Every structure is written in C-alpha cells, then in structure tokens.
Amino acid sequence: MGELDELYQTLFSEDKKQEKSISMKDIVALLKEYWSFIWKKKWFVVGIGILGGIIGFVYASVRTITYQANYVFTVGGGSTSTGMSSISMLLGMGGGSMDAFSGDNLLELLKSRSLVENTLLSPCVYEGDTITFMEYLLICDSVRAHCSSGEAPEVKDGFVSLCDIEYPIGQDRATFSRAQDSILMGKARGLLKENIAVARRDKKLSYMEYSFSYKDELFAKRFSEAHLNAVKDFYVETKTGMSAKNIEKFQHRADSIKEELGKAIALRAAYLDHNRNASGLGVSSHAHKIEMDIQVLSTTYAEVVKNLEALKLDQVRETPLIQIIDKPYLPLPNDKMRKLKGLIVGGFLAGFFSVLGLILWSYLKKTMEENENHQEIVVADNSSTK
C-alpha cells in the first residue's frame, strides 16, 4: 500500500479501531519526497512552461477579437384602461392588448429568424455607399475581397458561388433565388446561434439585456441598433395594429360624413338663394328637410368624432414604451487578450499541469512497484508453505 493510500485511510476512514496512524512528521517526509522528485524534473517543468508560454503568446497574437454591443432596456405600458370607450366595447374594436406579444415574449422576438433576416436586408452606410447589412456582413467575412482579388475557391458543378450572389437594396424577398434565400437564412441562423444573446436581468424586474458580438466593431454597433429598432417597431405595431385599423375605419367614416355634411350645407345655401322671394308650403317643406339632414349629419359627425378620439386615447394607453437604459458607444468593449498576459497565463498553466502530471505519474509508478513486491512476497510465502 502506498504512503498516499495510508494517509487517505488515516484521514477519512470511519473505523475508529484502525491501528495505523500517521504523524505530521510522516506528512512532511512525504511532501519532501515529492518535492525532491519534482526538483529533479525541474528542467522538464521549465521546458513545458516555456512551451505553454509560447503557445499562449501565439494564441493572443492570432486570435480574432470580438466586440460587444450591449443594451439594457425596459418595457412599460401596453395595458388598456378599464374605462375604454363604449363604442370600442360594443363593436369589439377597442384597444384590447394582444397578450401573445407581452412580457417575456419580447425576448423571443429578439430571437426571431425572420426579424434578423429583415434587418440584414435593411440599408446601412458603409464607406459612403448605401448597401444592405447582408452585403456589409459578406464584406466583413472577406467574401467580397476574395471575389475582387480572384482568390475565391472554385465552385463544383451544380453549386453557386458567393461571388455571383448579391443582395441589392429594395429587392423583393419574393423574387429571391434559392441560393439567395439559402445563404440569407444560413447567416441569420449563425448570428442567432453565435452572436446574439438576450436575457432578463432579474425575474422580479422588467429590465432586459440584449448583446450582439462580432469581430467588426462598426458592424456590431450598427447591426445591433438596427436589429433592436426593427424588433421595437414590430412589437409596437403588433400591439397597436388592431387599434390602428379601427381608427382608420372610423376616420374614413368621419371624413365621409363630413363631406356629406358639407354638401348638405352647400345645398341649403344654394336652395335659399334660389328661392329667396318664393313662398308656399313646398318651398318651406323642402327647406325644412334640408335642415333636418344637416342636423342628423351634424349629430352623427359629432358622435363619430367623439368615439374616434376615444379610440385614439385607447391606442395611446396600449402603446408599449420601450425605454433604452444603457446603449453602446464607441469604442465597444472587447475580449482582446494582450500578448504578455497570454505568455504569463500560458506558461503558468502549462507548468502547473506538468507538476500535477509528474506527481500522478510518480504515485502510480510507486503503487505498481509496491503491488509487484507484494505479489512476489505472496508467491514466496506460498512456495515455502508447500
């Protein structure tokens, strides 16, 4: 049995009658033994440490730096008051909030592939030219540079080269080719999986965090801003879409009634001018009919306008407020590792694990030797007994 095994059994065994014990002197002797063994292998440890330092230095020199654009925002409002207008309740049009897009579901919208694709197809400014974010992404990935220099890889038969695929501004998504759709969806999935992170800071709070990381600093800042704005617009439009349609209908109705009221007022003026000196029941009855039409139209127009204002108030009440608390500014935070840090960390880790490896190797070697000696003694005892 090895010395480490004896120490383990002494320290952790539950058998109180165990006769074996170990003193502090034995522990010190054991540590000195291992220290002596490691000291004999010091140049091996130093060599491994130097090698690890070189690896850490090279890694810090060639690794791709990632920049992060971080947002903290909160969502408020979006609830409809209990005192909504009677016309809204009667017609089932009033500002009923759409619970499917409330609360944590906003975080799911930030993970939506379609919204990421829409953002990639939205315009941005790159070196004075207006291009889509998808083209900007291909430039950051050096795809366009390889195409311009003729270094693009050869394409097998039946496949399409990225150099032949473009994403111009304003192209209808329905007109995209199969290759355009495939590349766009692949890029969107990649961004969602590796670059976009969303979370709620605390379950008890309404603060949410959105982070976008990428190797190009300007792309990270611009895309994150465009993506968050696209999600905000979609969220607000969805929450207030029903109210907007109802307001549009009532506004059209109010405009129609107003136009009819204007025609009736003009008709009354023309009729009175034409029959100023006329008398008789026919003239007075027709004038009275025109007056009644004007009164009905005026009353109807007033009621429609009143309910139209009530619908607009409901829309304001249910419109969510997405307030940005923190937003990124240049320069963006990054995960750049300095060369000196890589050298020190790499050397330390390599040296530390080499020492652990030597101790483990020494322990296993000693254990195997003791087992072999024990087996030899057992065999010798058995042979002497016979």
Tens-place pLDDT, residues 64-100: 788 999 999 887 765 544 444 444 444 444 444 444 4
Q: Examine the domain organization and report whether 146 and 222 are in the same domain.
A: yes
Res. 219: pLDDT tops 80: yes
Arithmetic mean of pLDDT over the chain:
77
Task: Decide: 143 and 162 in contact? Cβ < 8 Å.
Answer: yes
Say which residue, 265 or 99, is predicted with more confidence.
265
Q: What is the pLDDT of residue 95?
A: 44
Whole-Å CA distances, 143 to 187, 271, 335: 13, 77, 24
Placement of tokens 């090698």 in the chain: 51
Q: Examine the domain organization and report whether 95 and 212 are in the same domain.
A: yes
Q: Examine the domain organization and report whether 49 and 154 are in the same domain.
A: no
Q: What is the pLDDT of residue 79?
A: 54
Mean pLDDT over 188-216 rounds to 87
Nearest to 173 by CA among 228, 137, 121: 121
Q: What is the pLDDT of residue 143?
A: 75
Res. 116: pLDDT tops 90: yes
Range of the domain at 378: 3-63+342-385
Res. 254: pLDDT tops 80: yes
- The Cα–Cα gap between 345 and 36 comes to 26
Residue 248 lies in a domain: no
Q: What is the pLDDT of residue 15?
A: 47
Residues facing residue 129 across a β-bridge? 126
Res. 261: pLDDT tops 70: yes
Amino acid at 370: E
Other Cβ atoms less than 10 A from the Cβ of 369: the count is: 11
Residue 300 lies in a domain: no
The most distant pair of C-alpha atoms in the chain lies apart, rounded to whole Å, by: 155
Other Cβ atoms less than 10 A from the Cβ of 117: the count is: 19
Q: Examine the domain organization and report whether 219 and 189 are in the same domain.
A: yes
265 by Cβ neighbours in 10 Å (0-12 / 13-18 / 19+) ranks as: middle
- The Cα–Cα gap between 279 and 291 comes to 17
Q: What is the pLDDT of residue 249?
A: 85
Residue 138 lies in a domain: yes
Query: Residues 335-378: pLDDT tens digits?
Result: 777 777 777 887 888 888 888 888 888 788 778 877 777 676 66
Q: What letter does residue 162 receive in the DSSP assignment?
A: G
- pTM of the shown model: 0.64
Q: What is the percentage of the chain residues whose pLDDT exceeds 70?
A: 74
- The Cα–Cα gap between 318 and 144 comes to 46
Q: Examine the domain organization and report whether 183 and 149 are in the same domain.
A: yes
Q: How many structural domains does the chain have?
A: 2
Residue 83 lies in a domain: yes
Residue 337 lies in a domain: no
Q: Examine the domain organization and report whether 183 and 77 are in the same domain.
A: yes
